[in-house]
Amino acid sequence: MYIGFDYGTANCSVAVMQGDQPELVALEKGNPYIPSTICAPTRESVSEDLFRFRDIQPSGDIGERLLRRSIAFNKEEDIRLEQDDVHYGEGALNTYLQEPGEVYYVKSPKSFLGASGLHENQLSFFEDLVCSMMANIKHQAESQLEQTIHQAVIGRPINFHGRGGEAANKQAISILSSAAKRAGFQDVQFQYEPVAAGLEYEASLTKDMTVLVVDIGGGTTDCSLIQMGPSYRTLSDRSASLLSHSGQRVGGNDLDIYLAFKRLMPAFGLGSKATSGIDMPITQFWNPIAINNVEAQKSFYARQNLADLKTLQKMAQDPSKLSRLLQVYFDTLGHHLVRKAEEAKIALSDNQHFAAKLAHLSDAIEIDISQSQMIEAIDSPKSKMIELVKEAVQRGQTQPDAIFMTGGSARSPILRDAVQQVLPNVPVIGGNYFGSVTAGLARWAQTCYA
């Protein structure tokens, strides 16, 4: 059996073809979308769980060394891993929110896959993370379908990391391919996510058109200018109809991070001064919430950074704010702050004000954010997204007949208006913001495997 598999930055989903129509499969409590999150008692528990409870062997010599170290660490810390100690999706998020400082939690491992400067142990560990999530999704889908899944077309962004170029893309695809094979998929192929979304939109067309697909996901924004319609629908090779691509690692997560930085982090000392009059270092407020940046997270939560944070508190004109930053360090609250910013972003799409309640702090606080403040905070990542829209049209040297917007962040009226301003006379069409890519991947899987 074959599936379309959207291993997304924000959510994961799976679709199968029922006749000539794709159908999404329930993965978590009847929901076809499972958040791209994983939570375990310790970082080391992920690798041990794969081996001990899922019968998934480590990947090569490096993977074996990682597994041995993981088992030794948990034993030394007297952590006895039990079946179902590793959680996924909403279950992972709920476990983290209950005791943020007591568990290992990752949101959006896909964001790390093309990062530069990763050593072989990090690459092996990220493969274990992805494999664990994929194995869970495959198991859940097979339970619903009552069939074994052997083949999958997996979605991929145009570029996993803008700065890494093709080397970063190859690294990410290698991790995804190996993780999928270890998770039990016998044959895996990849398709660009905006192309997949375009295939789903194409199924509704009654005439040929040139369509600009704008896919604004959690981690990346990808644009494809595609010729599509009845004349193209049955082709197994679509390369000639793909006029241009553009893509970069900037997505919904970046909007959340920028909003958290600009509107929440001042309560933790951003913009404040030391008693000497010197500004507090910006990186100490950016790194804890840069949840899609491996080095930023590593730098902030490093043991040696604790001394620097304590020194900043002693030097601060307002030490109470730096006390909150220390609590972020001790309780690993970076993900919690970004989640609060995400809630604010969603609410402010339709409301003028939102009160962000930070309840996990010892001095629980409430921060009011206005819609205009939110718009100002996300201007930098929004501008990058709009440049990608322009780039795709310029490269294709063709004006589109329509713009098809998909991806969770494409629901934002702010982003939709910004895209419309670039191409004011081209209609903007929205589909299933979360499911278009998955459905299109299932359609392409049918082309590949049926």
Six-digit token pair at 66? 């990682």
Q: Are 407 and 431 in contact (CB under 8 A)?
A: no
Q: Which of 139, 140, 131 is nearest to 176 (CA)?
A: 131
What is the torsion angle, in degrees rounded to the nearest 10, for the CA atoms of residue 349, residue 355, residue 359 and residue 365?
140
Q: Indicate if 320 and 214 belong to the same structural domain.
A: no
| Residues of the chain scoring pLDDT < 70 | 162-164
Q: Which of 109, 151, 103, 67 is nearest to 293 (CA)?
A: 109
Q: Indicate if 234 and 268 belong to the same structural domain.
A: no
Residue 97 pLDDT: 87
Is residue 438 situated within a structural domain? no
Q: Indicate if 302 and 341 belong to the same structural domain.
A: yes
Single out the residue in 318, 349, 378 at which a domain terminates: 378
The identity of residue 325, as a single letter, is: L
Q: What is the CATH number of the domain that holds 240?
A: 3.30.420.40
Q: Are 27 and 89 in contact (CB under 8 A)?
A: yes
Q: Indicate if 157 and 101 belong to the same structural domain.
A: yes
Is residue 437 situated within a structural domain? no
* Geometric angle at alpha carbon 292, from 190 and 308, rounded to 5°: 155
Q: Are 261 and 373 in contact (CB under 8 A)?
A: no
Q: Indicate if 189 and 222 belong to the same structural domain.
A: no
Q: Which of 268, 273, 307, 319 is nearest to 289 (CA)?
A: 268
Helices (H), ranges, 22-119: 45-53, 60-76, 89-98
Q: Are 381 and 420 in contact (CB under 8 A)?
A: no
Residue 164 pLDDT: 58
Q: Indicate if 6 and 29 belong to the same structural domain.
A: yes
Residues in contact with 255: Cβ distance below 8 Å, sequence separation at least 6, in sequence order: 345, 378, 381, 382, 409, 412
Residue 163 pLDDT: 58
| Domain containing residue 416 | 207-251+380-429
Q: Indicate if 246 and 258 belong to the same structural domain.
A: no
Q: Is 404 exposed, middle or buried (0-12, 13-18, 19+ CB in 10 A)?
A: buried
Q: Are 251 and 409 in contact (CB under 8 A)?
A: yes
Neighbours of 318 (CB within 10 A): 12
Q: How many domains does the chain have?
A: 3
Largest CA distance in the chain: 71
Residue 362 pLDDT: 86
Q: Are 259 and 378 in contact (CB under 8 A)?
A: yes
pTM: 0.90
Is residue 315 situated within a structural domain? yes
Is residue 444 situated within a structural domain? no
Rounded Cα gap, residues 114 and 165, in angstroms: 9
Residue 99 pLDDT: 85
DSSP symbol at 403:
E
Single out the residue in 145, 160, 193 at which a domain terminates: 193
Rounded Cα gap, residues 29 and 50, in angstroms: 23
Q: Indicate if 53 and 124 belong to the same structural domain.
A: yes
Rounded Cα gap, residues 265 and 286, in angstroms: 8
Q: Indicate if 23 and 162 belong to the same structural domain.
A: yes
Residue 117 pLDDT: 83
Six-digit token pair at 238? 């679509």
Is residue 440 situated within a structural domain? no
Q: Are 357 and 421 in contact (CB under 8 A)?
A: no
pLDDT digits (tens, 9 = 90+) for 403-438: 999 999 999 999 999 999 999 999 999 878 899 999
Q: Indicate if 244 and 387 belong to the same structural domain.
A: yes
Phi-psi category of 84—alpha, beta or left, where left has phi over 0 and alpha has psi -120 to 50? left
User: Residue 101: in which H helix or E strand, if any?
Assistant: none
The identity of residue 406, as a single letter, is: T
Q: Indicate if 295 and 218 belong to the same structural domain.
A: no
Q: Indicate if 214 and 327 belong to the same structural domain.
A: no
